[in-house]
Structure 1
Amino acid sequence: MQNIHQQAVLDAHLLQLVSHDPRLEAVRQVAGPLHPRMHPSGFEGLARVICGQQLSVASAGAIWQRFSERGDAARDPQAYLLRYETGLEGVGLSRSKILTLQRVAQALGQGQLDLDAVVGLPVAQAIAALTQYKGIGPWTAEIYLMFCAGHPDVFPVGDLALQKSVSQALGLEPGIKPAALARVASAWAPWRSAAALLFWRYYGVQNRKDALPV
């Protein structure tokens, strides 16, 4: 599996993507250069993605900053389990996210979840392995696979920015649903992660803000 955290791989995938679907050349012209964004894998990376669920980029970043300042709780599952009940006041994590992180930390500590093994699975199997834990849905699993594992063929169809960006860029009906977006994105396999980065960048340029979710 080629890792899109490498600039050369991302560049190659983007060239192949645009050659395969010439409509995307205009999108690329607006988006400008793409650069990988990498976050650590393991508990730290998954915790960061969970922190960002259903939040703006700015809010998620502020919560993660406060969380990461609480010793090793944001990086080590055992440290998290020692602190999650009384040591996270003021961080801004909702109770549901605190419990989701507890379940993940326990599964990692007990050997029920092996994130290194998960990222080597085919996408559907990797998503299934992660979403068996309450509080982790497809979006969380897909964002983890993209930004923490560098998986090259993921397109998070539940992401609102991607829905808006694809609709606007390709002249599709506004408010495209995830199932319809999945059908559109299926044409971009096996470079769907590059396509997602392209459309996030396009959305960010059009709205003058950082649109990447983590």
Structure 2
Amino acid sequence: MNPRFIQISELELLTPVSFNHALIVLANLDSDLARVLETLGTPPLWKREAGFPTLVQIILEQQVSLAAAKAVFNRLLEIVKPLTPENFLQFDDEQFRLIGFSRQKSLYCRGLANAIVSNQLDLTKLPTMDENAIRTQLKRIKGIGDWTVDIYLLMALQHRDAFPKGDLGLLIAAQQVKGLATRPTPVQLEAIAQNWRPWRAVAARILWHYYLNNHGKAVTVYQ
């Protein structure tokens, strides 16, 4: 069997039970994360439904506040009913501009929709593929890079070790939680996060939990 297309083990995915277990493991591994949990309590699991709408929403979240992206996404849901690739392609860029899409994001989402409609991308197969294969499949689409893939892996596919090292909210939170003199680079944050394997997706939720409680609505960054 091709190892790139094996069913992901249940043990590699987050469930409410494994999430709670991971919180205990991380608190024992890292006193800084333990302090966040003690102060703020358990973070949300933050799960999204896998599929085209979630990928569109993540693209909208690139380089803008979550609140701004959510407002545009909600307006999109009002005009494209239901939000499928086929229905999305029935609307033109001017209609999307009027609800808040940039020209670039219209291009990216249109490219994603076309790839699905033309069978170049089958999102239903992603849960049966390993992370590298998923990354390769999604990054073929213009406008989808590592950050977008990581967020999809973490929130939609619930991979337990997905880690969007280029996320601005995580970088800011890590600096403050760890008491660092300067904000870490994505490479430096990735090095810090090695200690959190194989539960980096849970560590990310703890850091976001801290960020949202101290800085309001998170700003995400596309790397």
Same fold (TM over 0.5): yes
Q: Distance in 1 between matches of 2:137 and 2:120?
A: 10
What is the DSSP-based 3-state SS (H/G/I as helix, E as strand, rest coil) of the residue aligned with 1:58?
A: helix
Which residue, out of 201, 211, 214, partners 2:218? 211
Which residue, 55, 62, 71 being the options, matches 2:80?
71
**How many residues align structurally?**
210
- CA deviation map 1:123-181 (0-9, x unaligned): 23322221221111111111111111111111111111100101111122322111111
- Report 1:1-214 matches (<5 A): 1-2=10-11, 3-4=13-14, 6-72=15-81, 75-207=83-215, 209-211=216-218
SS in 2 for 1:82: coil
Q: Contact 1:200–1:212 (CA<8 Å) still a contact in 2?
A: no
Higher helix share goes to which structure? Answer: 2
CA contact (8 A) 2:151 2:164 kept: yes
Tell me if structure 1 keeps the 8 A contact 2:47–2:156.
yes
> How far apart are the structure 2 equivalents of 1:27 and 1:59?
27
Q: Aligned partners of 1:212 and 1:98: how far apart in 2?
A: 20
Instruction: Call closer, same or farther: CA 1:25–1:92 in 2, change over 3 Å.
Output: same
SS in 2 for 1:157: coil
Contiguous gaps of at least 5 residues in structure 2: 1-9
Deviation of 1:72 after TM superposition, in Å, equals 2.5
RMSD: 1.9
SS in 1 for 2:43: coil
Counterpart secondary structure, 1:88: helix
Q: Distance in 1 between matches of 2:185 and 2:23?
A: 25
Report the Cα distance in structure 1 between the residues aligned to 2:31 and 2:117, rounded to whole angstroms: 47
Query: Unaligned regions of 5+ residues in structure 1, if any?
Result: none
TM-score by length of 1: 0.90
Whether the 8 Å CA contact 2:168–2:219 is kept in 1: the answer is no
Q: Distance in 2 between matches of 1:200 and 1:79?
A: 33
**Aligned 8 A contact 1:7 1:35 in 2:** no
| % identical equivalent positions | 31
Secondary structure in 2 matching 1:61: helix
Q: 1:161, 1:43 → 2: CA distance?
A: 24
| Aligned match of 2:6 | none
Deviation beyond 4 Å, 4+ runs, structure 1: none
